[in-house]
Copies of this chain bind each other. A is one copy, B any other.
Amino acid sequence: MKKEPIVVRVMLVGLGNVGTGFLRILARRHERLAARYGLVFRVTAAADSSGLAVDADGFDPAALVALKAAGRGIDTLPAFRPHVSAAEALGQAPCDLVVEAAPLNLENGEPGLSVVRAALANGIHAVLADKGPLVLAYGELSDAARRSGAALAFSATVCGPLPVINCGRRDFVAAEITRFRGVLNATTNFILASLEQGKPYREALREAQDAGAAEADPRLDVEGWDTAAKLVIVANSVLRTPASLQDVAVRGITDLGPGDLAQHRRRGKTVKLLAVAEKQGRTYRLSVAPAALPADDFLAACNGWEMGVTFDSDLYGPMYFKTWEREPGPTAAAVLRDAVNVCLPG
């Protein structure tokens, strides 16, 4: 006997590249999700910067994608609810899962932080593509999740589809991770490759932005803060070390020119914006800075749109992971992965 699929009522906050990518996959994979996982995702609330709309029967994901592609906002829908925040809406309509994919805000984590906080307090699972709330309030949010029994998942926040967080949390059982290193920002990595080929900085940045992979504010990428944010998430969730951005020594790539890279190239080295967590005593030294890596370093071969990490530990031997991502589809898939994994029965 075939069991009836479980309906998961989703509030989607943020309809940018990742949010609409998530909707695209829901539209295309609806039947597979029901057949393989027994889950039907119904987007019953959706919010963008223009506001929030609620439909208990569920929005058509493809229609929401079309709305955004046409340059329109949620506030043009009949189901628009003026003067209702996402956090308030959680108390007014049933919801099983919040998917939070709002733009990165490292100042105060909003608008994501409030809705994630409200969800977890009420036992509603939260899946984040947005790093802000995790960087600013990881301890508070994970405590809230533990107390209410809700899941807090965020595998899309570090290297998109690459399961850095999942492997880090699940696959190094009983070990101490002695060193974590990562090329965590594909935009910067692409720009560095272009600089190495002799392209001017502005041209390299524009190409990265045209591909839609750069953060809305490119300073977050090139000044190293996006990388630092990911390192803070790894420190808190994988390395079990409470850390904030203030604990990371951050230097970006903005003072590098084609000349610097050519010089290292002649010595057989490649410059990467490297995140490092190095165990020192009972804690970790955290840093983000350009590093000239020898050719046989795994991360030196992390090219262009690739992102990669290495883990050293006292039980498992060295591990190396990398992926390639030019557009945010795979990151959106990582959001769906978390959504399925937290909602799976059993």
A244 within 8 A of B: no
Which of B173, B321, B323 is close to A336, meaning CB atoms less than 8 Å apart?
A: B173
List which A138-191 residues lie within 8 A (CB) of chain B.
155, 160-163, 166-167, 170-175
* Chain A 310-340: CB-based contact to B (< 8 A → 1; otherwise 0): 0000011111111111000110011011001
A87 within 8 A of B: no
Which of B170, B319, B333 is close to A321, meaning CB atoms less than 8 Å apart?
A: B319
**A329-B315 in contact (CB<8A):** yes
**B161-A319 in contact (CB<8A):** yes
List which A70-104 residues lie within 8 A (CB) of chain B.
none
Given A163-B167, A167-B163, check contact A37 B316 (CB 8 Å): no
A317 to B160, CA, bound (A): 10
**B315-A175 in contact (CB<8A):** no
A337 to B29, CA, bound (A): 32
Given A320-B323, A322-B320, A323-B319, check contact A340 B173 (CB 8 Å): yes
* Chain A 91-120: CB-based contact to B (< 8 A → 1; otherwise 0): 000000000000000000000000000000
**B320-A174 in contact (CB<8A):** no
**A330-B317 in contact (CB<8A):** yes
**B301-A32 in contact (CB<8A):** no
Q: How far is the CB of A29 from chain B (nearest CB, A)?
A: 5
**B37-A341 in contact (CB<8A):** no
Q: How far is the CB of A179 from chain B (nearest CB, A)?
A: 14
**A170-B174 in contact (CB<8A):** no
Tell which of A29, A36, A163, A341 has the most Cβ of chain B within 10 Å.
A163
Instruction: Give how many copies assemble into the complex.
Output: 2
A267 to B330, CA, bound (A): 35
Q: How far is the CB of A183 from chain B (nearest CB, A)?
A: 13
Which residues of the other chain, B, contact A334 by a CB distance below 8 angstroms?
316
Which of B163, B173, B175, B298 is close to A171, meaning CB atoms less than 8 Å apart?
A: B163
Q: How far is the CB of A297 from chain B (nearest CB, A)?
A: 11
**B317-A174 in contact (CB<8A):** no
Which residues of the other chain, B, contact A36 by a CB distance below 8 angstroms?
174
A25 within 8 A of B: yes
A330 to B316, CA, bound (A): 4
A213 within 8 A of B: no
List which A262-308 residues lie within 8 A (CB) of chain B.
298, 301, 308
**B174-A32 in contact (CB<8A):** yes
A204 within 8 A of B: no
The 9 sampled A-B contact pairs (Cβ below 8 Å) are A37-B174, A166-B171, A167-B167, A173-B333, A173-B341, A308-B320, A317-B323, A318-B324, A321-B321
Contacts A161-B316, A308-B320, A318-B324 known; 18 new A-B pairs at CB < 8 A:
A25-B315, A155-B171, A161-B315, A161-B319, A162-B319, A170-B170, A171-B337, A173-B333, A174-B333, A298-B322, A301-B301, A315-B329, A315-B336, A317-B324, A317-B330, A318-B323, A320-B322, A321-B321
